[in-house]
């Protein structure tokens, strides 16, 4: 009966081969399908009638044509491409928000703002130019807020998207684990399940696009899947992942952890989720930090100058800051440092006096308000009201924070001088300080009278007398002659735009003693702490970052309140010139760049990241295309090849059928002969 066995083995092999070919043809266009082939082997020979004779063909199984190395490479590169695509989408949203290719870019608005200040400096009292400054500032702040809003919205949407991705990954993990169980069951029963493996691997590929994964092949066709250090699929078991936020380095970061654990992994690399984490934790956070740094620098530098100036309306009778939620100055934004606030108070008779209020790291809003309220002329109603600092002058008084010098210096000269003649001639001279201080640092000048011979009392413009001027470091910066060569009432230059005038060219110019001291306090900055700008006193900008920057309500409602002057008359343009010059000033807080240069570098960084990612994405696509071609060569279904094989197995089936007929005829003939 060997002939029947041989024939039937061939027919069975041909039938199974045709089934496999049919399955291949049916799935020729199915994504993720790998070509299958029958494994046919010669049956073992048997000893028959003294001869070793073949016993037909054995069906050893179905082989799934798959190159595991290529599949692993494709999984990795597809995951990388998915991450790059997501990053590109987000960065293009940011680039669009920056609008650097439009006529209304932030760079253009910065130029317009500084240009409007420059124009105002030419005509500081012109209401049209004042309105132009306020309008250009509102445009600039609106664009900065809009860009910050875009980034914040993008961060919020990324969190929502990340949660959706985590849910999808968990769902895919459940499906993979279920298929692992089915594959294992079929494999241990000796059944083939290539189609099921393809479905399972397709799900793993989808998971790899969402998140960076590693796979481990186990016995019986089972595949384990790990996400970061989390074994999300082990055989038929699933360990779900969760999304969470954690504080790292003072920053809230997004990450994942195994369900039921606390330690979050925030350093995901590839896949959509890796891109989302990198965007939210690093790329967008860094961009927003830099944008905030620009906004804070703009706010603090403009306000630092503005709080010290006055408008054409002159000094103030009342100023109110904005509502503060913090009490300690250490928590203020913009930051406050240890320093001094210099307040100039003008009494009803027009006499100016300067008072100092110290601020340090332990100061509070309440303590500084109390110190301001203790200043004579401001001690009536100054204080805190609903978290807002309000400085109110007493009736008839005014105040401001003008830098420069007071017209009346402090002296050690007694009101009556001894040994100089008549009582009238014993009076000290009239001393007046004038000019605009052009120095960049606060300075205290000490002017000491020297006579020759020493220890004399001399009239201004007589004898040998000089005024030795030293700066705060003790260096002599000027020696002014007040003796016979000096005409009383003549202004003498000290330095940095400061002049001193002693006496009047009249009957009694006044007398000075040897050793008399005149102290001149010259201010470049009347608030070295930054406290006034932080609490909103006489500010131009409000806000503490790019999302909140705005023009103060006072300026929006009345542009004439722009503090263009630092002179007591309120008619000069020095403060406006100083604010306009900030456009060309390199700031240490911005890495030695101007505000425009800093912003342009920020825009360039975004553009460069997009360019690099775009190039990397194209390169990755080419690599994937090459890998897919290699995979297709190894695993895809060639319809022509399958058609050829189908003809072979059809002929094989037909031939084996004829063979069986021949065997049957032979047996019938033998049986007829025997009967």
Each residue's pLDDT tens digit, 460-475: 988 999 999 999 999 9
Query: Residue ranges of the alpha helices (H) in 307-388?
Result: 365-373
Residue 189: per-residue pLDDT? 86
Other beta carbons within 10 angstroms of residue 494's beta carbon come to 23
Residue 376: per-residue pLDDT? 95
- For the purposes of burial, counting CB atoms within 10 Å of the CB of 445, is it exposed (0-12), middle (13-18) or buried (19 or more)? buried
Q: Is residue 158 helix, strand or coil?
A: helix
Cβ neighbors of 178 (< 8 A, separation 6 or more) are 236
Query: Tokens 């960065």 — which residue?
Result: 91
Structure tokens at 353: 């006096």
Other beta carbons within 10 angstroms of residue 1's beta carbon come to 7
What distance in Å separates the CA atoms of residue 568 and residue 308, rounded to the nearest whole number? 11
From residue 312, how far is each of 315, 541, 649, 670 by CA, in Å?
9, 19, 103, 133
What distance in Å separates the CA atoms of residue 619 and residue 158, rounded to the nearest whole number? 26
DSSP letter at 40 equals: E
Q: Is residue 442 helix, strand or coil?
A: coil
Beta bridge partners of 492: 500
Residue 37 has phi, psi (to 5 degrees) of: -135, 145
Residue 423: per-residue pLDDT? 43
What distance in Å separates the CA atoms of residue 198 and residue 24, rounded to the nearest whole number? 12
Query: Residue ranges of the alpha helices (H) in 189-223?
Result: 194-210
Query: Residue ranges of the alpha helices (H) in 189-283?
Result: 194-210, 271-278
What distance in Å separates the CA atoms of residue 576 and residue 580, rounded to the nearest whole number? 6
Residue 101: per-residue pLDDT? 60
Residue 306 zone, left/alpha/beta (φ > 0; ψ -120 to 50; rest)? alpha
Q: Is the Cβ–Cβ distance between 56 and 9 less than 8 Å?
A: yes
Residue 420: per-residue pLDDT? 44
What distance in Å separates the CA atoms of residue 599 and residue 308, rounded to the nearest whole number? 27
Whether a cis peptide bond, with omega within 30° of 0, leads into 453 is yes
Q: Is the Cβ–Cβ distance between 539 and 548 less than 8 Å?
A: no
Residue 288 zone, left/alpha/beta (φ > 0; ψ -120 to 50; rest)? alpha
- Residues 265-282 as b/e (b if ≥16 CB within 10 A, e otherwise) read bbebebbbbbbbbbbbbe
Terminal-to-terminal C-alpha distance of the chain: 19
Structure tokens at 47: 């000893």
What distance in Å separates the CA atoms of residue 71 and residue 34, rounded to the nearest whole number? 11
| Rg, the chain, Cα only | 44
Q: Which of 575, 601, 428, 553 is nearest to 138 (CA)?
A: 553
Beta bridge partners of 254: 245
Q: Which of 288, 290, 299, 291 is nearest to 582 (CA)?
A: 299
Low-confidence ranges of the chain (pLDDT < 50): 419-423
From residue 446, how far is each of 57, 359, 410 by CA, in Å?
116, 25, 10
- Give, to the nearest 10 degrees, the angle between helix 284-306 and helix 574-581: 160
Beta bridge partners of 328: 364
Greatest CA separation for the chain: 176
Residue 129: per-residue pLDDT? 95
What distance in Å separates the CA atoms of residue 207 and residue 201, rounded to the nearest whole number? 10
What distance in Å separates the CA atoms of residue 144 and residue 547, rounded to the nearest whole number? 7
What distance in Å separates the CA atoms of residue 97 and residue 150, rounded to the nearest whole number? 7
Query: Tokens 């279920």 — which residue?
Result: 178
From residue 370, how far is each of 364, 391, 400, 418 by CA, in Å?
10, 11, 17, 43
Structure tokens at 241: 């992942």
What distance in Å separates the CA atoms of residue 309 and residue 313, rounded to the nearest whole number? 11
Beta bridge partners of 147: none
Q: Which of 478, 506, 505 is nearest to 492 (CA)?
A: 478
| pLDDT tens per residue across span 248-281 | 877 889 999 999 888 888 888 899 999 999 999 9
Residue 56: per-residue pLDDT? 85
Tell how strand 223-227 and strand 213-217 pair up.
Answer: antiparallel
What distance in Å separates the CA atoms of residue 556 and residue 462, rounded to the nearest whole number? 57
Q: Which of 524, 523, 474, 520 is nearest to 499 (CA)?
A: 520
Cα-based angle 201, 206, 211 (whole degrees, multiple of 5): 115
Q: Is the Cβ–Cβ distance between 533 and 300 less than 8 Å?
A: yes
Residue 408: per-residue pLDDT? 84
What distance in Å separates the CA atoms of residue 51 and residue 343, rounded to the nearest whole number? 122
Q: Is residue 179 helix, strand or coil?
A: helix
């Amino acid at each position: 009966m060997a002939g029947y066995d041989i024939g039937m083995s061939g027919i069975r092999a041909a039938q199974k081969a045709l089934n496999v070919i049919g399955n291949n043809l049916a799935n020729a266009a199915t994504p993720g399908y790998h070509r299958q082939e029958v494994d046919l082997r010669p049956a073992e020979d048997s000893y028959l009638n003294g001869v070793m004779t073949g016993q037909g063909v054995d069906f050893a199984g179905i082989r799934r044509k798959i190159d595991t190395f290529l599949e692993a490479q494709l999984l990795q590169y597809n995951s990388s491409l998915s991450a790059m695509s997501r990053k590109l989408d987000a960065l293009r949203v940011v680039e669009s928000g920056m609008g650097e290719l439009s006529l209304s870019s932030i760079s253009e608005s910065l130029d317009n703002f500084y240009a409007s200040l420059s124009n105002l400096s030419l005509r500081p009292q012109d209401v049209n130019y004042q309105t132009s400054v306020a309008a250009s500032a509102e445009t600039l702040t609106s664009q900065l807020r809009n860009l910050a809003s875009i980034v914040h919205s993008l961060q919020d949407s990324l969190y929502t998207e990340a949660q959706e991705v985590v849910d999808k990954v968990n769902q895919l993990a459940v499906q993979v684990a279920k298929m692992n169980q089915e594959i294992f069951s079929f494999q241990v029963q000796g059944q083939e399940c290539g189609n099921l493996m393809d479905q399972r691997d397709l799900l793993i590929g989808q998971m790899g696009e969402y998140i960076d994964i590693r796979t481990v092949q186990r016995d019986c066709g089972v595949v384990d899947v790990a996400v970061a250090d989390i074994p999300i699929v082990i055989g038929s078991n699933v360990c779900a992942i969760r999304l969470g936020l954690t504080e790292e380095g003072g920053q809230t970061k997004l990450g994942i952890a195994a369900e039921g654990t606390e330690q979050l992994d925030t350093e995901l690399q590839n896949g959509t989720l890796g891109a989302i984490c990198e965007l939210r934790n690093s790329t967008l956070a860094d961009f927003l930090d830099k944008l905030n740094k620009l906004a804070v620098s703009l706010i603090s530098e403009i306000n630092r100058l503005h709080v010290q100036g006055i408008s054409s309306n002159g000094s103030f009778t009342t100023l109110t800051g904005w509502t503060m939620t913090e009490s300690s100055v250490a928590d203020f934004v913009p930051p406050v440092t240890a320093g001094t606030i210099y307040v100039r108070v003008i009494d009803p008779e027009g006499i100016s006096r300067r008072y100092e209020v110290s601020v340090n790291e332990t100061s509070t809003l309440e303590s500084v308000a109390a110190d301001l309220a203790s200043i004579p002329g401001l001690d009536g109603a100054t204080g805190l009201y609903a978290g807002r600092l309000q400085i109110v002058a007493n009736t008839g008084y005014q105040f401001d924070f003008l830098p420069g010098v007071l017209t009346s210096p402090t002296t050690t000269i007694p009101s009556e001088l001894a040994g100089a003649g008549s009582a009238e001639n014993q009076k000290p001279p009239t001393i007046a300080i004038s000019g605009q201080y052009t120095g960049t640092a606060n300075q205290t000048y000490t002017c000491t009278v020297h006579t020759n011979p020493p220890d004399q009392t001399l009239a201004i413009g007589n004898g040998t007398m000089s005024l030795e001027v030293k700066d705060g470091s003790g260096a002599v910066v000027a020696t002014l002659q007040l003796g016979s060569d000096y005409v009383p009432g003549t202004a003498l230059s000290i330095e940095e735009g400061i002049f001193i005038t002693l006496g009047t060219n009249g009957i009694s110019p006044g007398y000075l003693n040897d050793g008399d001291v005149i102290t001149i306090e010259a201010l470049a900055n009347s608030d070295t702490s930054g406290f006034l700008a932080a609490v909103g006193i006489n500010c131009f900008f409000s806000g503490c970052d790019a999302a909140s920057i705005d023009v103060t309500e006072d300026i929006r409602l009345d542009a004439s309140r722009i503090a263009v002057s630092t002179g007591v008359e309120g008619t000069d343009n020095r403060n406006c010139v100083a604010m306009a010059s900030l456009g060309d000033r390199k700031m240490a807080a911005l890495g030695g760049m101007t505000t425009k240069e800093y912003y342009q570098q920020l825009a360039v960084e975004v553009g460069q990241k997009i360019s690099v990612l775009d190039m990397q994405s194209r390169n990755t696509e080419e690599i994937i295309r090459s890998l897919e071609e290699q995979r297709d060569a190894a695993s895809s279904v060639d319809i022509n090849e399958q058609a050829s094989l189908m003809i072979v197995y059809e002929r094989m089936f037909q031939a084996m059928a004829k063979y069986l007929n021949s065997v049957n005829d032979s047996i019938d003939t033998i049986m007829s002969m025997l009967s």
